[in-house]
Amino acid sequence: MTTRRIYEAARERGLVRSGRQFSTEFLGMASNYAADTGFDRCSPAALLNLHRRLGEVGQADLQAIVGQQLLGVEAGDCGSATQA
């Protein structure tokens, strides 16, 4: 699952209304972050913020997916952080 799909799931669940809100409240970045970098090219810092925030709002299933993405980034496998 990509970061875009996580955003879409968060939107479907009523957690966010827009990409701008997702960028600030879930990725912990500027409101234009996802639009400028692309949802699927988030930095490890943004993914870490996303992981933490998903835990705070009780979305353990999405949090686990982001955790897997983070492990891929830490292992140097940048491709796993951007592929479903």
Report pLDDT for 39.
Answer: 84
Q: What is the DSSP string of 51-69?
A: HHHHHHTT-HHHHHHHHHH
pLDDT tens for 33-59 read 999 988 888 899 999 999 999 999 999
Report pLDDT for 73.
Answer: 58
Report pLDDT for 38.
Answer: 87
Report pLDDT for 41.
Answer: 87
Q: Which of 9, 1, 82, 78 is nearest to 41 (CA)?
A: 82
Could you tell me the residue range of the domain that residue 41 belongs to? 3-81
Q: Is 23 helix (H, G, I), strand (E, B) or coil?
A: helix
Number of separate domains in the chain: 1
Q: Is 30 helix (H, G, I), strand (E, B) or coil?
A: coil
Say yes or no to pLDDT of 3 above 50: yes
Q: What is the mean pLDDT of the chain?
A: 87
Going by pLDDT thresholds of 50, 70 and 90, the confidence category of residue 66 is: very high
pTM confidence score: 0.82
Q: Which of 25, 31, 29 is nearest to 56 (CA)?
A: 25
45 CB contacts (<8 Å, ≥6 apart)?
A: 28
**Pairwise CA distance, residues 12 & 68, whole Å:** 22
